[in-house]
Amino acid sequence: MKGKGVTPLWVLGLMSGTSLDGVDGAMVLTDGVQVLEFGPHAYRAYTDKERATIRAAFGVWPGDAGVAAAAQVVEDAHIEICRQFPNAQLVGFHGQTLAHDPGGRGTHQAGSGARLAQALGLPVVWDFRSADVAAGGQGAPLVPFFHHALARRMGADQPLAILNLGGVGNLTWIDPRQSDPAHFAALLAFDTGPANAPMNDLMLERLGRAQDDGGALALSGTPDPTVIAAFLRHPYFHRPPPKSLDRNAFDLLAAVQPLNTADALATLTHCATAAVAQGAQHFPAPITQLLVAGGGRHNRALMQALSQHFAQVTAIDTQGLNGDMLEAQAFAYLAARVRAGLPISAPQTTGVPQATIGGQLSLPETR
């Protein structure tokens, strides 16, 4: 597959996930086909007040109460981190997902790329998911095309999988022998189930802390097999991929409410990893390795639980990649694809009927 002669650019990708830790920014030199070089990266944490403002808008839609305040927080934080990247030529701005209901009301990411473009004086690609959902796709996950480019950059020659453990887990099965990520045999991708989000919510609710650092509390607890078994009976697990989830699709906090905090966290951990194992049953062919990205790879309880289901589980950093910045880098790559007129989703990644470009490009106004 050729890049249509598009000149590579240094693209700044931005990501604010549903775990609400903060904003990641990362530079990638790419033409939208190959990942040529990785550049600097930065992280800007949300304050407790900012996090509360965004959290209050979860589950709401454009025009609803709380959306404007959340969007203001998201935009201001992203503009602030962008100031650290004076050499960016293009920006990929994901925004903050507040609600995701493919097949229903659609998908809602707070934050205006037009405002960012004006504030930064740079072209900004944003609203990556809406076109896919409007065409009948799930609108998620969108990182698989980037995962495919990474597998080829690594020189992989056999099927492998990349698991991203953010607020929600998503899994990408990759055959790097296919050169075009839109080819039907190149990828299979889907959300596995809840990952860090319910654990972080439980920590905040019970202990006033943002997360279980390193999974220490979860490791000291005992998982409840009854809760895990009930969780795995959810209809979502019986649906074939591609498929996607909202962070609040499972009411797991209610299920673990009777448990002490350590046991509740251990149970949530094993729910997350059992969901990944359940998802792996859909792989078109066996994998040689499972590479783990996202904040969840720092959680020893999660990684140990995954190792009970998969033979070769390693953090993606072992491949010379930055597992903390992978999603930000992905939206840099996707922005370059949008600029080049290349698709960012396909039937086997989001269930969209045909490969879809998506994204809006906002240019700064000239005066």
pLDDT tens digits along 189-228: 998 999 999 999 999 999 999 899 999 999 999 999 999 9
The predicted structure's pLDDT at residue 297 = 96
Residue 35 or 101, more confident: 35
Asked whether the predicted pLDDT for residue 2 surpasses 60, the reply is no
Confidence category of residue 52, pLDDT binned at 50, 70, 90: very high
Tens-digit pLDDT profile for residues 248-284: 788 899 999 999 999 999 999 999 999 999 999 999 9
Check: CB of residue 110 under 8 Å from CB of residue 31: no
Predicted TM-score (pTM) of the model is 0.89
Phi, psi (degrees; rounded to nearest 5) at 303: -65, -40
Tens-digit pLDDT profile for residues 119-128: 999 999 999 9
- 254 and 178 belong to one structural domain: yes
47 lies in some domain: yes
**Residue 307 neighbours by CB distance under 10 Å:** 14
The predicted structure's pLDDT at residue 3 = 47
The predicted structure's pLDDT at residue 140 = 86
- 279 and 171 belong to one structural domain: yes
Which regions of the chain does DSSP assign to beta strands (E)?
9-16, 22-30, 35-45, 90-101, 106-110, 124-126, 160-165, 168-174, 187-194, 290-293, 313-315, 360-362
The predicted structure's pLDDT at residue 5 = 62
- 254 and 219 belong to one structural domain: yes
Average pLDDT of every residue of the chain = 94
Over residues 90-117, mean pLDDT: 94
214 lies in some domain: yes
- 35 and 182 belong to one structural domain: no
367 lies in some domain: no
The predicted structure's pLDDT at residue 225 = 98
Confidence category of residue 88, pLDDT binned at 50, 70, 90: very high
The predicted structure's pLDDT at residue 4 = 54
> What's the number of domains the chain is made of?
2
Asked whether the predicted pLDDT for residue 113 surpasses 90, the reply is yes
The predicted structure's pLDDT at residue 19 = 74
Q: How far apart are CA 82 and CA 116, in angstroms?
A: 9
Sequence-ordered list of residues with C-beta below 8 angstroms from that of 180, at least 6 positions apart, any chain: 1, 186
Confidence category of residue 6, pLDDT binned at 50, 70, 90: confident
First to last CA, the chain: 39
Confidence category of residue 367, pLDDT binned at 50, 70, 90: low
Q: Which domain holds residue 72?
A: 9-137+332-341+353-362
Which CATH number does the domain housing residue 85 bear?
A: 3.30.420.40
- 64 and 114 belong to one structural domain: yes
